[in-house]
Amino acid sequence: MTKIDHISSRFRRPKKATGTTTSTSLAPAPGSSSPDVTKLAPAPPTTQHESPPALSITTTTPPGSSHSTLSNVSNQSDQNSNTVNGTRNVLHPPKSPLRSFHPFRSNKRARSPAPATLAIPTSPAVVNHDGIVEHEMTSPSKDQPQNGDGTSVDKPKIPAFLALSEQEIEAGFQDITWRERIRLQQGFQNPSPSFQFARIFSPEVRMLDRYANIQPWANNRVKLQVPEGELDYVNASPIVLHSPLNPEKRPPHRYIAMQGPKMGTMDHVWRMVAEQLSSPAVIVMLTETHEMGMEKCYPYFPRTPEEEPLQIGEGDVFGDGFRAQVKCANVEERADGAIELRKITVDVEGREESVVVWHLLYRRWPDFGVPALEDIDSFFELMRLSREKNASDDNPRIIHCSAGVGRSGTFMALEHLMRELDSGDLENYDQNHSEDLVFDTVNALREQRRQMVQAELQYLFIYTVLRKLWMEKYGVAEEQGEEPAAKRLEVDHDPFIED
């Protein structure tokens, strides 16, 4: 039993005793034996029973998703995941048999504190996609609602992927982790520079990376518009998430996932802002500059209007004379101090108009952890402000934490799926769909940037929040005696990065 299994077992309720014992194991294949099944349900010697069919749900790929055409990576990794002939069982996914195999050992240099306890309130607030609290949630009546003629009204059924147990969610995360390891292995083995998951091996970029094991894919990175022969690298990845349920009517979410700037990459970041974004632009910062005495992000912006403007390009690192000045116009606090909202202006030499950048610093999210549920309203407010201040849906928002993968990926996945929930398309989702939207979204993120939604705790948090929001939206309460599908794990180390 792993340390995580031991810790999480404290949260599991014992199963209720029943009058009969039923084996849920599949019948053994012809010619094989299974002592466990024989003990649970010994077959009479004179009677042959057919093997029960395996319960599976056919998975169809939503149009516009990055999975509409399976890559070589997905095809290979499916053999090691909970898929059978192109299907994925979202009701009872098995644990990956390869979860304990670690072909790559991480040498991540930054460690982080254990996250705080995630308490689930009994009467949470109902929050829509824009982060606005509509009303306080009260416990619904146990009596079944009725129509005017006295007949019962059927309540919507929660989607199967939001009813997964903690163990099933954990198995899904291990599957995603294994798929990424296969991509990394293929990146080592495939020398073609056009390969989708090609690695960056150029030694001169290493000094620009905050962490040795966090880099963009070579063919999905932001390239600076510098003179030929100059280094065009910045540790940032363009991210596009298409609506899995209605891509024709909902514009894709566009982001740039970026590492927390270093002192030596500040010029690269502001040049990227000037080249890639329209005014007004948005930067969402999900980390403090220092946490537990360690630098997580260099202070790459002026904090107050009184501070001297930052001078960009004084060293002419790009060899083309690019110069800019970064000033803080004003700063204010939102959501009881959880958000620092700054208006920053970037004046590029040779341009007539300034670039306005709205910089949103969120202060209540620990590294490798998740926001406490009592802070969730401020987190939704952060999402709403970032959309409201942006020039348009086509203008990507820069989202960064320290490495630009854990907290950043969780923000993107949750905001993206909250829009699908808010649309009403998840009301009777299982009638026409069987995909696990959380799994598919996180896997799509990792196909665009390594280690997005880095920690299992963050992956679990996405299910927890979506489940709570779904129940509040449709007035459905947890059934008495049922174990909550997603509960927070308490760990004293990062459950993904190896020591």
Residues serving a catalytic function are: 401
**Read out DSSP for 122-168?**
SSPEEE-TTS-EEEE--PPPSSPPB-TTSPBPPPPPPPGGGS--HHH
Residue whose entry in the numeric block shows the structure tokens 């619904």: 140
**Read out DSSP for 169-206?**
HHHHHHHHHHHHHHHHHHHHH---TTSTTPPP--GGGG
**8 A C-beta contact, residue 132 and residue 408:** no
Nearest CA to 445 among 65, 1, 84? 65
223: DSSP letter = B
Question: Strand 294-295 to strand 290-291: parallel, antiparallel, or no bridges (unpaired)?
Answer: antiparallel
Q: Which residues pair with 325 in a beta bridge?
A: 311, 347
**Read out DSSP for 26-80?**
PPPPTT---HHHHHHSPPPTT---PPPPPP-----PPTTSTTSS--HHHHHHHTT
**8 A C-beta contact, residue 296 and residue 260:** yes
**8 A C-beta contact, residue 439 and residue 236:** no
For 99-119, the three-class secondary structure string (H helix, E strand, C coil) is CCCCCCCCCCCCCCCCCCCCC
Distance CA 371, CA 117 (A): 10
Beta carbons within 8 Å of 182's beta carbon, 6+ residues apart: 73, 76, 77, 80
495: DSSP letter = S
287: DSSP letter = S
Strand order through the sheet with 339-348:
236-241, 253-258, 397-400, 281-285, 355-362, 339-348, 324-334, 310-312
Q: Which residues pair with 310 in a beta bridge?
A: 326
CA dihedral 86, 90, 92, 96 (to 10 degrees): 60
**8 A C-beta contact, residue 223 and residue 232:** yes
